[in-house]
């Protein structure tokens, strides 16, 4: 191919973009992978990965002045001194909050796959059929059966640790051995199983290599040692990231061209040809403008930026944004409700403690409104469940064996077990939740600033109340004491699960993408990140993004071979 001509262009080198590029390259397509941030090479560019706590100026804490300057990312649980370089500072790419929204971003090769929580659950038909059954959003054009083989493909390559739990709301997958729940988590698991129908406590499935297989060794990835320093980047490759897995794999084919520091200004549409012909980028550092041409384009910039790219891709045929033939582009966005938290104390198991770490904890799949409508709100929630026994009072002392005994022996004073859970509630996509372009203000590359408006509604409030009631009861049944509920009242965004804006559907009048993630009105452009989602479910969405991207990329390759695109 000539220097600026490719078979395929992928916008965004993160979770889903890495999968799009991998699949397209494996199918023999010369693929350009664009990333607006700098390159991050696996191992080489993890500057803090092996540092000790005392090697950081603030022992891992973010200084007060930095928090004040970056209030949105400062509220993110994962933002620390040891990984701050992977997060976009608030002032580095401003946006307009029409309603409060904390936008957490990672602009670099690998994107947020370097900092994600690594929780991976499949969707079920209860999720894909939800909008049609409950009368919200529009009907998904796919079902679980369409995605199941792609879930399997992704799981085998990524490496997912979990158990075969036999739960219909959370289909089993291709699993590596799981870590074990601790004694209090097992106690809660037993109580829930005994006293509740269709409620389950399981080990939270996670993208960690508990037992690497040959496919993982071929990726040069090693066994997870549960350091729990994942957001620094893992030199072992023990957890999945695009940097350690899909992008190097795509590069091995010889078909990948990676172009970092490429801020995508727009997708170019040719009215005479009736399709997109390429992408216009602005160099992040030099501001030089370059155009690249391709036969197909995959947009994986992250849900909000993907909407922004399409809105800014204007032409005489699409004056309101590429593919926006019905005015729905940027509307019906949604997120996950993470406001609810509950804590308690377990006075049992005083003779036990947990030694060592593990990369995941307990998980309670959705159990509300699954088989029939049983509450005064639509859909439901999943939840995490953790239990730990913290040290109380005193300090570790001594040298050598004395220090070891102080840390691990009978000397430490341990308090009672502390338990806690947090909700992950499905929100309803609404037209009043939107992403739009500013009419006047632009960023440093001359691209219009984005307006973001997402908010909770009465359905979310009722769901939150039910979570508190149900989990208070479950905690009481388990004998937990000092039970406290807390509404964090956090703005949308800290869930980091924004979805929608370019939703899939069956009808071009009410959706923007078809069952293969093609724009209805520009079929050589595919959207396979969170922007494509029609509804949210209660599961962490990254596994579904990857499966959707792999499925669409292979379909696109097939259609190119048949000369249908």
Strands 417-426 and 381-388: antiparallel
Interaxial angle between packed helices 458-477 and 183-195, expressed in degrees from 0 to 180 and rounded to the nearest 10: 100
Q: Is the Cβ–Cβ distance between 238 and 10 less than 8 Å? A: no
83 falls within a domain: no
Give the pLDDT of residue 404: 76
**DSSP states along 336-379:** EE--EEEEEEE-S-TT----S--S--EEE---SSSSS--SSSSS
**DSSP states along 303-321:** HHHHHHHHHT---SS-TTS
345 falls within a domain: yes
485 falls within a domain: yes
64 falls within a domain: no
Question: Per the structure block, which two tokens stand in for 195?
Answer: 């006293």
- Alpha carbons 27 and 556: distance in angstroms, whole number: 10
**DSSP states along 546-557:** HHHHHHHHHHHH
CA-closest candidate to residue 387, choices 457, 257, 480: 480
Q: Is the Cβ–Cβ distance between 86 and 104 less than 8 Å? A: no
What DSSP state is assigned to residue 300?
-
Give the pLDDT of residue 391: 81
505 falls within a domain: no
**Nearest 10 degrees: Cα torsion 427, 428, 432, 437:** 60
What are 87-109's pLDDT values in tens digits?
Answer: 999 999 999 999 999 999 999 99
Q: Look at the alpha carbons of 335, 337, 338, 339 in this order and tell me if their dihedral is positive or negative.
A: positive
- Alpha carbons 178 and 167: distance in angstroms, whole number: 16
3-state secondary structure of 515: coil
Query: What's the CATH code of the domain at 420?
Result: 3.30.410
394 falls within a domain: yes
CA 102 to the chain's CA centroid: 15
How far, CA to CA in Å, does 232 sit from each of 116, 205, 224? 11, 21, 14
Note down the domain range covering 377. 179-212+336-426+456-491
405 falls within a domain: yes
Per-residue model confidence as pLDDT tens for the chain (565 residues)? 568 999 999 999 999 999 999 999 999 999 999 999 999 999 999 999 999 999 999 999 999 999 999 999 999 999 999 999 999 999 999 999 999 999 999 999 999 999 999 999 999 999 999 999 999 999 999 999 999 999 999 999 999 999 999 999 999 999 999 999 999 999 999 999 999 999 999 999 999 999 999 999 999 999 999 999 999 999 999 999 999 999 999 999 999 999 999 999 999 999 999 999 999 999 999 999 999 999 999 999 999 999 999 999 999 999 999 999 999 999 999 999 999 999 999 999 999 998 889 999 999 999 999 999 999 999 999 999 999 998 876 666 788 888 877 776 655 678 999 999 999 999 999 999 999 999 999 999 999 999 999 999 999 999 999 999 999 999 999 999 999 999 999 999 999 999 999 999 999 999 999 999 999 999 999 999 999 999 999 999 999 999 999 999 999 999 999 999 9
- Alpha carbons 207 and 113: distance in angstroms, whole number: 11
Strands 417-426 and 5-11: unpaired
Give the number of domains in the chain. 1
**DSSP states along 33-92:** EE-SS----TTTT-TTTT--GGGSTTTTPPPHHHHHH-HHHHTSTT--TTTGGGSPPGGG
- H or E stretch covering 15: helix 15-26
The three-point CA angle 499-504-508 to 5° equals 135
Q: Look at the alpha carbons of 84, 88, 91, 97 in this order and tell me if their dihedral is positive or negative.
A: negative
- Alpha carbons 250 and 330: distance in angstroms, whole number: 31
3-state secondary structure of 360: coil
What DSSP state is assigned to residue 499?
B
- Alpha carbons 115 and 246: distance in angstroms, whole number: 16
**DSSP states along 101-145:** -------STTGGGGT---B-----HHHHTHHHHHT-S---S--HH
520 falls within a domain: no
What are 100-153's pLDDT values in tens digits?
Answer: 999 999 999 999 999 999 999 999 999 999 999 999 999 999 999 999 999 999
Length of the chain: 565
């Amino acid at each position: 191919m000539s220097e600026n001509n490719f078979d395929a262009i992928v916008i965004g080198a993160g979770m889903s973009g890495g999968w799009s590029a991998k699949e397209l390259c494996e199918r023999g397509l010369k693929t350009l992978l664009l990333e607006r941030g700098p390159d991050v090479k696996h191992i080489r560019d993890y500057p803090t990965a092996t540092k000790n706590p005392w090697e950081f100026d603030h022992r891992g804490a973010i200084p007060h002045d930095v928090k004040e300057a970056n209030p949105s990312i400062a509220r993110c649980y994962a933002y620390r001194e040891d990984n701050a370089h992977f997060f976009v500072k608030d002032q580095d790419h401003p946006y307009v909050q029409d309603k409060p929204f904390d936008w957490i971003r990672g602009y670099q090769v690998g994107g947020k796959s370097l900092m994600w929580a690594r929780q991976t659950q499949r969707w079920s038909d209860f999720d894909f059929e939800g909008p049609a059954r409950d009368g919200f959003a529009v009907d998904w054009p796919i079902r679980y059966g369409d995605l199941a083989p792609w879930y399997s493909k992704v799981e085998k390559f990524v490496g997912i640790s979990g158990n075969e739990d036999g739960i219909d709301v959370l289909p089993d997958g291709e699993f590596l051995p799981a870590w074990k729940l601790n004694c209090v988590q097992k106690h809660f698991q037993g109580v829930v199983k005994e006293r509740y129908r269709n409620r389950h406590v399981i080990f939270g499935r996670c993208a960690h290599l508990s037992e690497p297989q040959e496919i993982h060794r071929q990726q040069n990835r090693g066994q997870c040692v549960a350091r729990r320093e994942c957001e620094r980047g893992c030199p072992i490759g023990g957890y999945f990231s695009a940097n350690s897995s899909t992008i190097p794999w795509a590069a091995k084919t010889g078909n990948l061209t990676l172009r970092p520091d490429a801020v995508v200004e727009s997708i170019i549409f040719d009215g005479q040809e009736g399709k997109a012909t390429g992408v216009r980028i602005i160099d992040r550092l030099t501001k030089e403008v370059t155009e690249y041409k391709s036969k197909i384009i995959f947009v994986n910039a992250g849900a909000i930026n993907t909407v922004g790219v399409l809105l800014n891709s204007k032409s005489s045929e699409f004056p309101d944004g590429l593919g926006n033939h019905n005015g729905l582009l940027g509307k019906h966005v949604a997120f996950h409700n993470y406001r609810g938290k509950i804590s308690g104390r377990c006075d049992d198991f005083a003779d036990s403690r947990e030694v060592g770490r593990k990369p995941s904890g307990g998980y309670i799949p959705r159990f509300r409104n699954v088989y029939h409508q049983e509450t005064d709100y639509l859909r439901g929630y999943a939840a995490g469940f953790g239990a730990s026994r913290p040290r109380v009072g005193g300090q570790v002392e001594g040298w050598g064996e004395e220090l070891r005994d102080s840390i691990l022996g009978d000397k430490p004073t341990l308090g009672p077990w502390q338990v806690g859970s947090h909700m992950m509630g499905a929100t309803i996509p609404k037209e009043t939740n939107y992403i739009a372009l500013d009419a006047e203000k632009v960023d440093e590359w001359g691209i219009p600033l984005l307006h973001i408006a997402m908010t909770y509604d009465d359905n979310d409030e009722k769901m939150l109340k039910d979570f508190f009631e149900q989990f208070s009861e479950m905690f009481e049944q388990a004998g937990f004491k000092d039970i406290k509920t807390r509404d964090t009242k956090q703005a949308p965004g800290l869930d980091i699960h924004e979805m929608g804006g370019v939703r899939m559907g069956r009808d071009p009048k009410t959706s923007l993408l078809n069952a293969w993630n093609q724009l209805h009105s520009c079929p050589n452009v595919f959207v396979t990140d969170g922007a494509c989602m029609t509804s949210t479910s209660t599961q962490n969405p990254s596994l579904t993004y990857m499966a959707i991207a792999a499925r669409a990329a292979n379909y696109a390759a097939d259609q190119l071979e048949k000369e249908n695109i």
